[in-house]
Every structure is written in structure tokens, then in C-alpha cells.
Amino acid sequence: MNHAAQQETLLSIRNLDVRFKQEDAEPFHALKGISLDIPKHTTVALVGESGSGKSVTSMAIMQLLPAMQTLIDPASQILFEGRNLLEVAGADLRRLRGKDIAMIFQEPMSSLNPVFTVGDQIIETLMLHAKLSRAAAARRALELLIEVGLPDPEKKIKNYPHELSGGQQQRVMIAIAIACEPKLLIADEPTTALDVTIQKQILELIAKLQAKRGMSVLFITHDLGLVGEFADKVVVMRHGQIREAGEVKQIFEAPQDAYTRALLACRPQLDQRPMRLPVIDDFMKPGGFVSAGERQRGYTPNDEIVLDVQGLAKSFDIRQGLFGKKQFHAVKDVSFKLARGKTLGIVGESGSGKTTVGLTLVRLHQATAGKALFEGKDLLAMSPKEFHAYKRRIQIIFQNPYASLNPRFTVEQILAEPMTLHGIGNNGAERRKLAQELLDRVGLPARSLVKYPHEFSGGQRQRIAIARCLTMKPEVLICDESVSALDVSVQAQVLNLLQDLQDEFKLSYLFISHDLAVVKHISDQVLVMNKGEVVEQGDSDAIYRQPKESYTRRLLDSIPTGWTGGAPALA
């Protein structure tokens, strides 16, 4: 990269101060006079947790903040090639947004129009901003889909968004964004919901397009470790302020701010397994974080097996044409043993069958074949009445705490409902007391009982979901992507909580995830799945150190390693 070109500024934010109006309260101060530069031909990573102001910054650049609720200080400036975007409106703004500045959003399904083919959506962009004829735009749309690496583009260009996978949808979003060759591409958490292999492909694609087209990229993420491999500069935000900014080498090798060091350290590392993961507060207090040593993992011959799964299979009927149907084999002949007080990690890409395994074991899916022996009794062969007694003993935590908690129930009602159904506690007072104890156990104050789910953050909701499972005093807990949607620091808190509960109550976990670093941290054994089948299984240290199968190696090679120039200074 040419150093002189790198220093020439494309976009400059000066004293950006944003507040949001609130009913019956003072305006919320989202951005507190931040300033940053995005040079030409450069990738700048904007990193921070939820609520740090990253997305508000990007939406301010695009002028997409709700006008009626937003208060922007008159002294604020967002200068794009010397022109203040905050003073641009109407047709000028639409031209600028479509042609010179483009944005990729986190969730492609909510950004793509479900009633138009992906080809038509690219064609519309080209006809509107590049003034191409429909025929020329159609040819260019196909070229763009080829450029972003969409498989079978001649066929996929005629597909609707729901007919594509998440990674393919994101490639279409990138094709639309680069269609008019923008000078600035804003990517807001574009890989958060994607598998580790697809995430790597998307990151490599953005880096390749940035280099090929010479555009600038503002890459927004909550995972600092993700950007070390391809960003030029890093800006770290917290609570609406910039805590640290600099070249990626400096940020990773010698971070100056305690918060930056915390973000680097919170994410599980492949080469170490601390007794407890550090959290943000560990670094913000005097003295910083002090490691308590390494935790040993693995099964031993003396381990008591609590769950023995043999030949588990699950098929679904899929409609084909008007009257036909075919069978889709989601899980094929899966066998494993789960030991008491230990964790079995199940990893694989989307569609590998890992979630179907978990749902089938708690009988939210009906197994096609196989056994699941719990204390010698087959959970899958029981009548519903028989299984009711076992529901208490094998529980599941779902990925999305927003969808798994009843929004009309208070936390007390959420926790009391399963206790009432299973006859736990003699009366409401006893159940309330137990609910308070459980909230304390998961690190939430007693006053949370009277609140509703929408009053909590994602991490707090996941704690409530864990507390609800604990009301049953389970012996086996199935964690289905239960930390994948959380910030790295909140993820560390929840992983520490799960470990504490396992140490105290000898819980057994079936930990399902596509995040291999997290699985390595918490698992004693790992089971790798691909297309419904077990590819490889064994002690986690052995599999990560020396994987036998090429599929496992490919998954491990896709894990972001952060800054490749040297080890970060975390202490």
C-alpha cells in the first residue's frame, strides 16, 4: 500500500455528538464528541461492545438515524472529501449513499427484499445509480455475483433471498454494495451470525475487493481478535467514546488502554485454557488481571457416564413439487458418551446436524432411529408421561435469549412457571425465594424479579435463561449456541458462570457451537460433525493439537488468530 495515499483522508469525523430522545427521561448520550479519520485505500476497524456507539457512528455517516428522535450537536461534522454529510439532504444524499458510500448490514435477510430475486435487486441499484440499461445492468449483475464468489451464479441470480444460505445472502449484499464502485464501504458486523469457515471467506472477500478496487472500508465488529489479520488501523470504542486508536500492529502488540487489553484477553485462546476467563472489570480495576493457572480437561477411565447415545438418526420429509416428497437425513448414526461433571463439545458448520442432535435428545424432534440411555433407560423410547419425569433432569439453553423468554412474563413468572409445572416448592413464597437464590447464583440482583425481558441486555437475558434451567436442578444441560450472539466480554462472563455451576453441581454439558475457540476452552471431549455425520471425536486437546480429518483441519484453519505479527501484550 502506498504510504502517501494511505495518509490522504477520505472521511473525517469531527466532534460527533449524538443524543437520543427518551420518554420521561433525559436524552441518552450515545456519542460523546468523537473524532476519527478514514484514509483513502485503507481498512479501519471500529471495535467495541454492544452500546459502545459503533453502529450509531455508521448510521450517522449514512444519515440513517431517526430524525425525530435524534439530537446532533451543531458543532458535529462528518466530512466526506471535504463535504459535511450532515448538511446533505434529498436527492444529493441518495446519490451519495448509492454511489460513493455503501453499507453492508449485519443481517442480510432483513436487508434484502424477500419478494424480488437477488438479480433484480442488483439490477435496480445499477439502473438507478449507474444509469445502465436493464440489459447492461443484468450483464453487470452476473459479473458482480461471479466477483463475490457466489456458487453457480447463472442459477442463483434468479433465486429469491430465502433460497440462499446466510453466507450466500451476505455475498449478494456485498455485490449490491460494490455495484457502483463506492469510495467507502461500511461493513456493520457482517460476519457475526456466520460459521467460522464462512466468516473467513467473507473477510477474505472484503479484503480482496478493498485491494482490487482501492476503496476504503470501515469494518465494525465487537470482536477485536477478528480484525487483526486484515485491518490497517483500529479504533476502540466504549460508552460512546474512543478509548484508543492506532495502527493495527501497535494496538495488538502494545495496547495502551486497559479496555483494549481486556477485549484482547476476554476471547478464549487456542494455546491456553485459564481456570477463569478474564472479563472487562478484571482489567479496569487497580492491579489488572492475575491469572489463576490452567485448567486440565479430558475424560478418564473412571468417569461415570451419564448419557450414552447410540446410533442416533433424524430425517425430515421435504416437499418436492406439488405432491412429491423426499427425505432429508439431518443426523446419521451419531454415537457418543457424556460423562458426569464433564463437557462434550459438538462443532460443525450450519447444516451439520449439531442442533438437531440436541433438539432430538430433549424430544423437541422425534428421533428416526437410535437410543439415548440415561441411567440405563432410553429417553427416546419413553411414553410422554414417562419422559415428563426426566424433563427436569435434562434441560436446554437456546441460542437466542430474545426469542426463548416470554416477553409478557416478569422474570419471577418465567422462573416460577417450570417450578409450578414440576411441583417444585410448596407455595408461591417458596418458589419466589428459590427464584431469588437462582438470580443471585447467575449474578443478577433480586430486583430483577419484577422486570420484563425487554429491560435486560442480551447477556443478562441469557443469565435468566440459565437460571430458568437451574430451577429444575438438571443433571444434563444442552447449550445450543448459547454464547454465540454475545459480546466477547459478556461471553466470558457466561462461560465462567457455566464453569462455576459445573464445578459446584457436577453438571454435564452438551455444548453445541460453531465457535471452535470457545469449544476448546470449555470442552473435555469434542465431536466434529459434517452433513449429519460424526467426522471425528476425542479429547479436546488431542483434536485441536493434531486433527486427523481434513474437515477438522479446515475448521481449525478458519479460526481468526488476531494480529499475525506477534503476540499481544495482555498483562
pLDDT of the chain, 571 residues: tens digit per residue: 444 344 699 999 999 999 999 888 899 999 999 999 999 999 999 999 888 999 899 999 999 999 889 999 999 999 999 999 999 988 899 889 878 999 988 777 778 999 999 999 999 999 988 889 999 999 999 999 998 888 889 999 999 998 887 778 888 989 999 888 899 999 988 887 677 788 888 888 888 889 988 999 999 988 887 888 889 999 999 999 999 999 999 999 899 999 998 888 888 888 888 888 888 888 877 766 667 788 889 898 899 999 999 999 999 887 777 777 888 899 999 999 999 999 999 998 878 899 899 999 999 999 999 999 998 899 999 999 899 888 889 989 887 777 788 999 999 999 999 899 888 888 989 999 999 988 888 888 888 999 998 888 777 888 898 888 888 888 999 998 888 767 788 888 889 888 988 998 899 999 998 888 899 999 999 999 999 999 999 999 999 889 999 999 988 888 776 665 443 444 3
Identify whether the C-beta of residue 438 lies closer than 8 Å to the C-beta of residue 415: yes
- What local confidence, expressed as pLDDT, does residue 224 receive? 81
- What local confidence, expressed as pLDDT, does residue 289 receive? 67
Q: 3-class SS at 403?
A: helix
Q: Tell me, rounded to whole angstroms, the distance of Cα 220 from its chain centroid.
A: 13
- What local confidence, expressed as pLDDT, does residue 563 receive? 60
- What local confidence, expressed as pLDDT, does residue 86 receive? 94
Distance (Å, rounded) from C-alpha 440 to C-alpha 487? 22
- What local confidence, expressed as pLDDT, does residue 1 receive? 43
Class of the domain covering 3-266: alpha beta
Q: Do domains 3-266 and 305-393+474-557 have the same CATH topology?
A: yes
DSSP 265-328: HHS--TT--BSS---HHHHHSTT------BPP----TTPPEEEEEEEEEEEEEEEETTTEEEEE
Buried b (16+ CB within 10 A) or exposed e, 409-439: ebbbebbbebbeeeebbeeeeebbebbbebb
Q: Name the CATH superfamily for 305-393+474-557.
A: P-loop containing nucleotide triphosphate hydrolases (3.40.50.300)
Please state the domain extents for the chain: 3-266, 305-393+474-557, 406-471
pTM summary value: 0.82
Q: How far is CA 49 from CA 237, 402, 488, 490, in A?
A: 8, 18, 8, 9
Q: Are strands 343-347 and 508-513 parallel, antiparallel or unpaired?
A: parallel
